[in-house]
Structure formats: structure tokens, C-alpha cells
Structure 1
Amino acid sequence: MYFESREEAGIKLAVQLFDTYRYENCAVVSLTDGGVIVGEQIASALHSVLTMLLVEKIEIPGEHMSFGAISQNGSFSYNSSISEGEMDEYTNEYHGYLEEQKRESFQKINRLLGDGGLIDRDMLRDHVVILVSDGMSSSAELDAAMDFLRPIRLQKLVIATPVASVEAVDRLHMIADELHILDVKDNYLGTDHYYNQNVIPSHEETVAKINKIVLNWR
């Protein structure tokens, strides 16, 4: 399945979620700037808040997979789809690289947080959290997000994404109460591949969307 835009995909997901969650205490939480475009459509339809959890994925050099991801509280989560033995090998081989990437990624997150968009744990407590992305290719970002969300008492965790890999879906079944995925790919070719329009707003524009979401409730 291909989509004209992230807005179109978000509207399709909002239709699926509307009947169940329109009058519930929901918070839409995006994992990416592109996911905010998707999440904006859902939050507008459900009259819910929209925010963003900053997660930076760290790639293994020369491989189409990641070590894991670091979240805005500074915690690093290893990619759970990689075996313990393989991860030990990668960590030993790329130890210096990994530590440097952790530092750079956390510094990047802190710079972005300086522009706003810091997630409020109290805003999520006892709410239905709808975790949104424009595409989920691996479990790395999900594991980092779960490390951040785990201490928070949630009513329910719902995952909504237009497209996901088989690997990501396998992980999602283990951590989420409910899934809304429009298409699952055996061979995930990169998130942009599944959209005809690929104009992603700057982080400043993303923060503006988050701050204005209440004005756009439908």
C-alpha cells in the first residue's frame, strides 16, 4: 500500500480510531517529525493532545540495522531483535563508535528540546496513549519509547502507524494493547518510499503543530 501523503495516511488511521476513542482521555505521542503529521490528523479528530517523544536511532556501521536508540531521558535501549551474542560482538567491535554516537544523539535531543516539545509525563498518566509514527522499520525506537513510558501508569497503549515491517509488528504484539497498522511489509524499503509526498517539516514547524493542535480540533 502506498499513500499520497502522511496527512492522508493519518486520516485513514483517525477513521479507525474515532468510534472507540473520540470521547476517551487520549494523548497522541509521535516518535518522529513525520509521525507528527500523521498524529495531527488523529489528535484533531479525537480532540486529544499531541506531543512528541524524541528518540534517536543509532545505526551499526555498514549494516541495515541499529544498535538501538536513545530517548530524551538519556536512557539507551539495545535493539531487541538482535541476539545477545551478536550484540556482544557488535558492541566489542564498535565500542568507541557506539559511545560517541550515544553522546552525539543525546546532545542532539537536548538541542531540540531547547526549542520546545518536551513531553509531560503527567499529561500521559492514566490516559490512553496512542503512539504514532509515519513508519516503523525496526524495534529500536519502540524499545526506547517503552523504556520511557514504562514508569508511567497508562490506561492503555495503542500503536498507530500507516506502515511497518514484519520485525516491528512482531515486537508491537508484545508491548501494545492494540494495533492499528494499515500495511505490513516483508521487505521494508524505508519510510519515504511509501509516500508520494515527502516534505517533512523542520523541528520548529513540528513544535508549532504540537502547540496549535487544540486550535485544529474537528
Structure 2
Amino acid sequence: MFKDRLDAGRRLVELLADLKGERCAVIAIPRGGVVVGYVVASELDAPLEVTVPRKIGAPGDPELAVGAVAEDGTIYVEESVAKTLGVRDDWIRIEAEHELEEVRRRIGVYREGKALPDLSEYAVIIVDDGVATGATMIATARFLRKMNPRKLIIAVPVAPPEILPKLSSEADDVRCVATPSPFFAIGQFYQDFSQLSDSEVLEYLSRSRRLIA
């Protein structure tokens, strides 16, 4: 469906053309979301920043999201998953604290440990390379909503159709290129879904800053 994340970004920005000329800020979720966000920010002449949420994996199955934590400690819990697995709130809080250690490390790398800028005058566009369960995106949206943006938009290339109502309840608008079914993993919709390194993320952030300087 998408050649790579750059192609996904070009397809996504077509859905955001009405925002051209508005005061927008693109907040990307690393690592893959930074490539998509780079394209969106470049086309909208918007600053590109990153926020770092982390998935909270289920006991014994870290790939299954029982929730997620945003960089400020905001926790989102997939209640149905937690209830089915019998996962307690205190266990989730402990796991969130563990994940926040990696959050702090990445913020140190990507933002030199600095806080996000004031977003109150911006239409904030949260970008990732796709959404699967929605846990990290929802945690991110709830965190950024606290920063009182003028508008909060979730924009992704691909997501399962059943997730869109959940995302819509967390943002003022949701833009999504494709909602295929069946949906097993984000990577199945990319020809090239190679993992990015921290240095590659930093290069895209640097390029974006040069473009709007």
C-alpha cells in the first residue's frame, strides 16, 4: 500500500491540505512517525517536534498492549484487555514507571531533555506511521490536550477501522489515509518498514529545522 514512510507522509499530507496557511505544529511519535511527520511538517511549513510515549505490554506478552504511558506520566489503560488478563492497576503503574526511564532517555537524545514548547497558539497534528491498538496515540493525545492547543488533530497513514471511533473521541479531528481490514500489523501495509536508529531520527529533525529556519 505504501512504498515507505516518505510515501506514506506524502499520501497523508494530501488529507491535511486545508491546514496550509494555519499555524500548525507537527508532533511526531518516534521512531517511524518522525519520517512521516517530516513530510507533513515540510509541506505545511510547520515546526516538527517529538513526544515519546511507551506501550505497556501485558504480563508474559510484551507485544500485547495493556496500555501506554505518555512522557508526562499520563497513563491510558486498555480496560478490556486488563480485565480479561486480570492485570491490576498497581502493576500497570509500576510498569509505567519502568517505561518512563526509556522515555526520559529518548527525550534526552531527541530534545536534549527540553520540554515541548508552548502549543496553545497552534493547531497540533499528532503523527505516527500507523496505529494498531491506539494505546500510545491515545496516551499522547491526552497528554497534549493538557497543553491547550487551539486544535488537536490525529493524522496517520493507516489504522484498523474499529479504532477510529476511539481516536475521534480523543481529538478534534482524525485524518487517516487507509483503514484496511483485516489488520494484523502496521508493517504489513509498507513495502519498506525498516526500523530507524536514533541518529536517523535526529537527522530528520535537523533537516526539518533547517527547512523552516
| TM-score (ref. length: structure 1) | 0.85
Secondary structure of 2:208's aligned partner: helix
Aligned pairs for 1:200-215 within 5 A: 200-215=195-210
Residues of 2 paired with 1:161 and 1:119: CA distance?
A: 24
Closer/same/farther in 2, CA of residues 169 and 59 from structure 1, 3 Å limit = same
Question: C-alpha offsets along residues 128-165 of structure 1, whole Å, 9 cap, x if unaligned?
Answer: 11111111011211221123112222211122111001
In 1, distance between residues paired with 2:208 and 2:200?
12
CA distance in 2, matches of 1:216, 1:201: 21
Shift of 1:9: 1.0
Can you list the C-alpha shifts for 1:60-81, whole angstroms capped at 9, x where unaligned? 134864111111112322125x
Unaligned runs of 5+ residues in structure 2 are none
Q: Separation in 1 of the partners of 2:100 and 2:46?
A: 29
* Match for residue 52 of structure 1 among 50, 53, 63: 50
In the alignment, which residue of structure 2 is the partner of 1:10?
9
When the two chains are superposed, the root-mean-square deviation of aligned CA atoms in Å is 2.3
Q: 2:41 aligns to what? A: 43
How far is 1:115 from its partner? 1.2
On the 8 A contact 2:138/2:167 being kept in 1, the answer is no
Q: Does the 8 A contact of 1:115 with 1:204 survive in 2?
A: no
**TM superposition shift of 1:195:** 0.7
Q: Is 1:91 aligned to residue 85 of structure 2?
A: no
Partner Cα distance (2:115, 2:184) in 1: 30
**Partner SS for 1:114:** helix
CA contact (8 A) 2:26 2:37 kept: yes
Given candidates 98, 101, 104, the residue that maps to 1:104 is: 98
Which residue in 2 is equivalent to 1:145? 140
Q: Secondary structure at the match of 1:54?
A: coil
- Deviations, residues 89-140 of structure 1 (Å, cap 9, x unaligned): 2227xx65x4553233111111112213255141x21211111111101121
Compared with structure 1, are the counterparts of its residues 152 and 142 closer, same or farther at alpha carbon in structure 2 (3 Å cutoff)?
A: same
Q: Distance in 2 between the 1:168 and 1:121 partners?
A: 29
SS at match of 1:90: coil
2:66–2:82 Cα contact (<8 Å) kept:
no
Instruction: Say whether the 8 Å CA contact 1:52–1:119 is kept in structure 2.
Output: no
Which position in structure 2 is the counterpart of 1:69? Answer: 68
CA distance in 2, matches of 1:62, 1:54: 22
* SS class of match (1:68): strand
Asked if the contact 1:78/1:143 (under 8 Å) is kept, the reply is: no
Could you say if the C-alpha distance between residues 142 and 116 of structure 1 is closer, same or farther in structure 2, counting changes exceeding 3 Å?
closer
Partner-residue secondary structure (3-state), 2:121: coil
Q: Secondary structure at the match of 1:66?
A: strand
- Contact persistence 2:50–2:110 (CA under 8 A): no
What's the offset of the Cα at 1:86? Answer: 3.8
State the TM-score, normalizing by the size of structure 2: 0.87
Gaps of at least 5 residues in structure 1 are none
